[in-house]
Amino acid sequence: MRALLTHEAATLAAITLVAALGPLVLNGYYVYLLTIVFAYVILAAGFNVVLGWSGQLAFMSAAFFGFGAWVSGRATSLYGVPAEVALVLGTVGAAVLGLTFGALAVRLARYYLAIVTLTLMYVLDYSYRNFAELMGGVSGFRVRDPRFALLGGAQATSDTDRYYIGLVLAILTYVVVRWLRTTPTARGWRVIRRDERVAAALGINVYLSRLSAFVVSSALLGLAGAWFVFLNTRFLPEAFGMHELLFDFLILVVGGLGSLNGAVVGAVLLVMAREYLRTFPGLSEILFGGVLLAVALFVPAGLYGTVAARFRSLRERVA
């Protein structure tokens, strides 16, 4: 186990070093694109907790992604709070909403939970659009460039600045979620995913365990949204609807549902593919639908899960 952890730490350090060199070798467009990728890495890691690890059919990503963005953007645009505070407020605000809403929602069975979480997304979307004074209205609101108190009040005005901040947030999220995976709480989530009756027989409080997964997922989704709104410099309600939810779900399925590394791989591949397909209106929906069908039929473990299984099999043969 110690050797495995050392190997993983070395791999993460190498990837971080390569990523840190990105702005030195890439043009401005790809630097900006990677800043978006980092936000979606955080989102995918958070969504994977509730959908992949605990097995709850909670289609909640767009709702909490948008709510974190709204809290962070509103705190900055109205009150001028530093970016660190805005990120914390977006994360905590989404966690509180997740605790309040999840306390009732996680009691529901799979498909009922899916319907209820979809309802939350539509309720928030209605609120953003129809309570303009508080929520911003149909056209949303502008968000200032992030100003960091820890950096002496310096503003992150360039894509390079945002790139490095996003990289730090993504790495920290990955490390925390990777550590969380080894805790008894996360092991309980995975038992519940397989069989709730077995989990109850082992003394796991199924309700509290499901609720804890829901809250952790909500917080990470809120953090992703809180940072994402700074990248767009505008909060737009239409960015957090059904299209966003389906895209988030596709990230997990393509990468490998239940795999943290798969979530990262899916975020990188799908965000880049979506950006490329913007020049072909309507084509992305068709292609993504085809990709989802192909993955479900031929590689149900996702791209990362399938490749990892093949390499594991190869190592066993060599041994």
Over residues 184-209, the pLDDT tens digits come to: 999 999 999 888 888 888 888 999 99
Residue 85 has pLDDT above 80, yes or no: yes
pLDDT tens track for 208-246: 999 999 999 999 999 999 999 999 889 999 999 998 999
pLDDT at 318 over 70: no
Domain boundaries, the chain: 25-239
Question: Which one-letter DSSP state was computed for residue 22?
Answer: H
Report which of residues 99 and 256 the model is more confident about. 99
Cβ-Cβ contacts under 8 Å for 311 (sequence gap 6 or more) = none
Mean pLDDT of 280-293: 77
AA letter at 41: V
pLDDT recorded at residue 122: 94
pLDDT of residue 136: 85
pLDDT of 2 reads 53
Whole-angstrom Cα distance, residue 98 to residue 106?
10
Per the DSSP assignment, residues forming a β-bridge with 121 are: none
Position 94 pLDDT exceeds 90: yes
pLDDT at 166: 93
What pLDDT shows up at residue 291?
82
**Is residue 3 very low, low, confident or very high in pLDDT (cuts 50, 70, 90)?**
very low
d(CA 84, CA 254): 32
What CA–CA distance (Å, rounded) separates 90 from 39?
A: 14
Cα Rg for the chain, rounded, in angstroms? 20
Record the pTM. Answer: 0.92
Q: For 154, which DSSP code?
A: E
Instruction: Give CA–CA dist 86/71, Å, rounded.
Output: 7
Write out pLDDT tens, residues 97-135: 999 999 999 998 888 999 999 999 999 999 999 988 888
Mean pLDDT computed over every residue of the chain: 87
